[in-house]
Structure 1
Amino acid sequence: MDDSINEDFERTQKLASVLGQARQLIASELRAGLADAGLNLQERGVLLTLARGRVKTPAALSKLAGVHPARMTRVLDKLENSGLIERARNGRDRRLVDVSLTREGQIVAARNTQVVQGAWSERLSHLSKSDFDALSQLLSRLLDR
């Protein structure tokens, strides 16, 4: 096998490993910091997405929160049963359902936001602004097709 192919493979494997380890580390820290909420990462993602106020339909939440559309109903059911969200028919189009945070959901989302910001701030604190910007740009390019 060509040495350049081996080198490319090794670099790719190293990158995949580092990205995987970073994801696992952050997820572990978030789980530990948010254990009292009794929510998994997908449920937290939906709450935080709703808290940002950009979307309110299950389909849009699925896309932004990274929850598979087939799983979204179960996630919303759990959050609704926990008293954190409400679902209501859209006033303009009764075929659509709007999802919103309850008062309790707003409190839990705010607490989650603080923990998430703290975990990310601590993890990224050793990066300079230019390092952070470069990392963000490189990862964005990695996602471009």
Structure 2
Amino acid sequence: MTSRSSSPGAGFYQPCHLVPEESVGYLMRRVMSSIRTQADAQLAAHDLTYAQWLPLFKLSLHESATVAALARDLETDPASMTRSLDRVEAKGLVVRERSTVDRRVVQLRLTPEGQRVAALVPPVLADVLNGHLSDFSHDEWQTLLGLLRRMLANGEALRQQRGTDAPAA
């Protein structure tokens, strides 16, 4: 990856002319909000909210996880994650199992019903994402993915350069 400027940032934004509607961060947040709203609308028929279907989906990709690991992965605080998991556990979709190796560790596992419900998420997400990309060509989609990955790499480089512990957004 080559730098387009010798100093951090390319100077695309100036503080005195910063307009939210032209901000990459603002636009990405609006896109994410639209994706979440559309997915929520489709998954509401299955009595799921974003705070519930996202952990279910993530758990479906792994055999088990801890609350702390899931919270880190989803960039939320453990208390919020615990509340969401309380709700899906009450619905019989997740079980908590204390580790036999370390009793302080509680593993999360999808129940068979949780696996069934989690399987509803990928088709909905694919539909919503495809809808948001409906007039993109394949090359434009790949370019967008590459640009977003590059922004993430730039953010990680800034984080390391500044020595902050916050995850790159």
> What is the 5 A alignment of 1:38-117?
38-53=47-62, 56-117=65-126
Q: Percent identity?
A: 31
**CA drift at 1:81:** 0.7
Which stretches in structure 1 are left out of the alignment for 5+ residues? none
Higher relative CO (CA 8 A, sep ≥ 6), structure 1 or 2? 1
User: RMSD of the alignment, in Å?
Assistant: 2.4
Provide the rounded CA distance (Å) in 1 between the counterparts of 2:43 and 2:135.
23
The one of 130, 135, 140 aligned to 1:131: 140
CA distance 1:105–1:12, change in 2 (3 Å)? same
**CA drift at 1:12:** 7.5
> Is 1:25–2:34 an aligned residue pair?
yes
Which stretches in structure 2 are left out of the alignment for 5+ residues? 1-12, 159-169
TM-score (norm 2): 0.72
Structure having the higher helix fraction is 1
Q: Which amino acid aligns with 1:45?
A: L
TM-score (norm 1): 0.83
Report if the CA contact (8 A) 2:97-2:106 is conserved.
Answer: yes
Aligned partner of 2:151 in structure 1 is 142
Report if the CA contact (8 A) 1:42-1:65 is conserved.
Answer: no
Report if the CA contact (8 A) 1:86-1:101 is conserved.
Answer: yes
CA distance 1:124–1:22, change in 2 (3 Å)? same
Deviation per CA, 1:71-119: give whole Å up to 9, x if none.
Answer: 1111111111110000001132222111000111111100122111211
